[in-house]
């Protein structure tokens, strides 16, 4: 791999000067504005920021689900811009796991079949015991034959986590994965995600609005108006909440400033 010196060799995901704009020249929304950031292998990062600050766009670009307008993204040693759709699809299927707020399970399939789906989509016959093992990791070995509708919200999200982990991805992305759960269940699911990912030497990048959830991350990255404006390491929930409050104020101020010209 041809990595320039000083460019985080330990980073499993790296964004370099990433821009993502939507709309036309007259109707432009800048979702990501010159974002450069690295995520080290074996770490858990929480991404926070006001609604519309670019969190989902950041994740989608980093995961190869969306292409930036300019800038580059290196995932697991590969420059995404240089990949064909076919190679990108394969990379997504094999090296990336994604967990969404809506669990996105298929109601007609059993838990085991839902978890096995990414392997089947990748054309891999599930290795014997692979699905059982990952269900074991999320504490749902005894639910393999159940349908998603027979499980609680927290259990369904654990199935979605098992499905994200079954291909043994390098990185697991979560876009508000605990957003539909009550606070206690959200924390349980988050702890489980953190433990399973880190035990396997994987990396997690998770968007959350919950300062308590974020305080369990190694690092919290704050976005406002498409830019990374701050980060905290090992912060308490109080510190994270405090930072978020000021971020809201900051974003509102800059919204007011922009509103004059844009509307």
Min separation Cβ 170 and Mg ion, Å: 23
Contact flag: residue 56 with Mg ion (CB under 5 A): yes
Sign of torsion, CA 227 233 237 243?
negative
Binding partner of residue 51 among ligand ADP, Mg ion, none, CB cut-off 5 to 8 Å per kind: ligand ADP
Nearer to ligand ADP by Cβ, of 21 and 78: the residue is 21
Min separation Cβ 49 and ligand ADP, Å: 6
Nearest to 73 by CA among 92, 86, 47: 92
DSSP 141: G
CB 186 within 8 Å of CB 178: yes
First-to-last alpha carbon distance for the chain, in angstroms, is 46
**How many residues sit in the footprint of Mg ion (CB under 5 A)?**
2
Binding partner of residue 102 among Mg ion, ligand ADP, none, CB cut-off 5 to 8 Å per kind: none
Min separation Cβ 263 and ligand ADP, Å: 13
Q: Which residue has the tokens 């990336």?
A: 96
**Beta-strand relationship, 29-40 and 171-175:** unpaired
Closest residue to Mg ion: CB criterion: 56
Binding partner of residue 22 among Mg ion, ligand ADP, none, CB cut-off 5 to 8 Å per kind: ligand ADP
Binding partner of residue 97 among Mg ion, ligand ADP, none, CB cut-off 5 to 8 Å per kind: none
Contact flag: residue 53 with Mg ion (CB under 5 A): no
Segments in 200-236 forming alpha helices (H): 211-214
Contact flag: residue 57 with Mg ion (CB under 5 A): no
DSSP string, 125-189: PPPTTHHHHHHHHTT-GGGTTS-GGGS-HHHHHHHHHHHHHTT--SEEEEESTTTTS-HHHHHHH
Min separation Cβ 22 and Mg ion, Å: 14
Reduced to 3 states (helix: H, G, I; strand: E, B; else coil), residue 70 is: strand
Nearer to ligand ADP by Cβ, of 11 and 176: the residue is 176
Min separation Cβ 173 and Mg ion, Å: 12
Q: Can you give the binding site for ligand ADP, defined by CB under 6 A?
A: 22-23, 29, 31, 49, 51-57
CB 223 within 8 Å of CB 52: no
Nearer to ligand ADP by Cβ, of 119 and 207: the residue is 207
């Amino acid at each position: 791999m041809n990595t320039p010196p000083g460019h985080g060799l330990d980073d499993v995901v790296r964004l370099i000067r990433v821009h993502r704009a939507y709309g036309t020249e007259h109707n432009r929304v800048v979702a990501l504005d010159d974002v450069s950031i690295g995520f080290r292998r074996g770490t858990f990062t929480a991404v926070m920021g006001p609604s519309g600050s670019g969190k989902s766009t950041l994740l989608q670009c980093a995961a190869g689900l969306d292409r930036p307008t300019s800038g580059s993204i290196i995932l697991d040693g590969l420059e995404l811009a240089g990949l064909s759709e076919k190679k990108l699809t394969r990379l997504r299927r094999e090296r990336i796991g994604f967990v969404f707020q809506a669990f996105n399970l298929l109601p007609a399939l059993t838990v085991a079949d839902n978890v096995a789906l990414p392997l089947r989509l990748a054309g891999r016959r599930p290795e014997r015991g692979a699905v059982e093992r990952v269900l074991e990791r999320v504490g749902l070995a005894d639910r393999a034959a159940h349908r998603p509708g027979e499980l609680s919200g927290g259990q369904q999200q654990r199935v979605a986590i098992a499905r994200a982990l079954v291909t043994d991805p390098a990185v697991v992305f979560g876009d508000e994965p605990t957003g539909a759960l009550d606070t206690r269940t959200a924390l349980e699911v988050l702890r489980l995600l953190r433990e399973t990912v880190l035990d396997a030497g994987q990396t997690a990048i998770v968007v959350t609005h919950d300062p308590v959830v974020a305080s369990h991350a190694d690092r919290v990255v704050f976005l406002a108006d498409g830019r990374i404006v701050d980060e905290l390491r090992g912060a308490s929930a109080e510190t994270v909440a405090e930072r978020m409050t000021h971020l809201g104020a900051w974003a509102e101020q800059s919204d007011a400033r922009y509103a004059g010209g844009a509307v």
